[in-house]
Each structure stands twice: as structure tokens, then as C-alpha cells.
Structure 1
Amino acid sequence: MNYEERDPYGIYKNRASATTGTRLGDDYVPALMGANTLIGNDVYNQREEDLGSIKEIMLDMRSGKVAYAVLSFGGFLSLGEKLFAVPWTALKLDTTNRRFILNVEKDYLRDAPGFDKDQWPNMTDHTWSKSIDAFYGAAAHTDDRGLGGRGM
């Protein structure tokens, strides 16, 4: 399912409006998106391999920015699935296919630091967040006042 199919309020209805987004060729790039419409969106890599779906979006309450998308991968009907905190900056919106792209190989993701749905990591730990950002080659989402264990 994609973000347009999860849009109960008509956020993405007016694709041509300059106030709600921009056109990039034939694609419409929304300027703002509802978090609830993004949960459940598919995530693929550039090889068209299904990497899972977004299960949760983690907000940095100090900076007001999205820090991570929690991605599920593997398993069947939520059994045996592994969860991954993927830096939001590592995801790219694919407006043509209405999904997200994460530029990693499927085998690379199998070895990614993940966690079980019943044992979430301390995402405010600076060492943990730096290791996740480094694993995905993403820019750090925190500053001295943000999450990551500093300035608390």
C-alpha cells in the first residue's frame, strides 16, 4: 500500500498545486506529508528488491525533525521479522512508484544492526545513533541539543 492510498484527508489530492508541492518532470513531489500516510509504505532498493515496509516513524522531539523510520524486514506475517532504525535522510521518496528507496543491497540489510519488536534499542544513546548513521552513510540527525544522549 502507498501513501496516496492511505490518505483519508485528501492531502495528496491536488497534485498540481504549487502550495502543496512541486513537479519534477512528470512526478509530483509533496512539500509536506502526513506521517500516518507513510506508515506501511513499501521500501525497495534501486535493484527493485523489496526491503520491507515502514512500521514506525521516530521524531526527535527536541529538533522537531524525523530521526528514523523503523523498517521491518524478513519474516512472515510479523513472525521472525527484524526491525531496523533507518536514518530518515537515507530514504528517498520514489514518487513514480509511490514508495521509498533505500540504497542498500538486500544482503547488506540482512547484516544491519536490527532489533526485535519486544526489545527496542535506546535510540537516544549517542553511540547507538552514530553507529546507525554510519552504517547507512547518513548525515547525523542530531545536534548538541538533540537526541543522541547529549544536552539532556
Structure 2
Amino acid sequence: MAKLVLSVLMIVIWWMLHALQMDEELAMGTVHEAKRAVDRAAHAAAQQIDREKLEMGVLSVHPEMAENAAAQYLRGNLALDAGLKPVSGSFLRDPVEVRVFEILNENLEYPYTYRNSQYQYEITLDRPGVVLIVHVKYPRLFGVLAPVEWNLKGSAELVY
């Protein structure tokens, strides 16, 4: 009888460990998908050239167009609504928060090293570009465990 009880307990523990491993794999898949979305959004934002300044020979990112492009790419790649909240069918459950959206334009001397000590992020850009830091929360499958949260960082330069 003791062996039977021990066997049942071992099976339950094995199932719990297997479920936790599956949850970790889903979290890693989520962070990779979200990171790709942040990179795409930063790249799309950086490509929004200010045509009026370009006519004068100045490479510059158009701020409003860049912000709109970044938001559109985040919404499209993460299945979010206009308020950056997940729609049905999204792999996220909590809203996405844009923590940093900075446009580094022609008023800086390039190469320029951008530093953000709050998020431990540093990047050197050779021409105007965009820095984007987005906060994403992955809800655990088991309510006992706390959600996993990331500040995903992306940046891109204007390509001409």
C-alpha cells in the first residue's frame, strides 16, 4: 500500500514539474514573439522620413509618423487594440505599455551613444533613429506563480 501511495505522489509531482516546464516554454515563446514585434515596430518607426527636411538635404525621422508606425506595428504583431490591450486570440492577456519612445534626430552629433540607465540600455547609432522600450507581461498558466514581466528593448536607424 505504501508503494502505491508513493507511486501516486511521484506521478503527481512529475505532472506538476512537466506543467511548469511547459509554462516556461510558453513564456520563452512569448518573449521571442514580443521581442520581434518590438524590433519591427522600432524599424518601422525609424523609416518614417521627414520629407520636408529631406528636400533640404537633412536626414530626419518624422515624429508623428514614427509614433503612429510603431503603434501600428505593435498592434498588428501582438494582436492589440488601439489602447494596446490584447484582443481575443492574442497570446497576451495584459495590456502592453510603451515605457520609452525616443526619436534621435539630426540635432545630435553622430555617431551618437544613447544611454538609459533606468532600463540599463545603451546603443550607438550612426544616423537618426528610434529607441523603443516596451513592457510586456506574460500571465502564468498557474495562479500560484507570479506573472513574468519583461522590458523589451529595440532600436533602429534611418536607412537611406
Structure-1-length-normalised TM-score: 0.25
Q: Quick check: which one's helix share is greater?
A: 2
Between 1 and 2, higher relative CO (CA 8 Å, sep ≥ 6) is seen in: 2
Q: Quick check: which one's strand share is greater?
A: 1
Bigger CA radius of gyration? 2
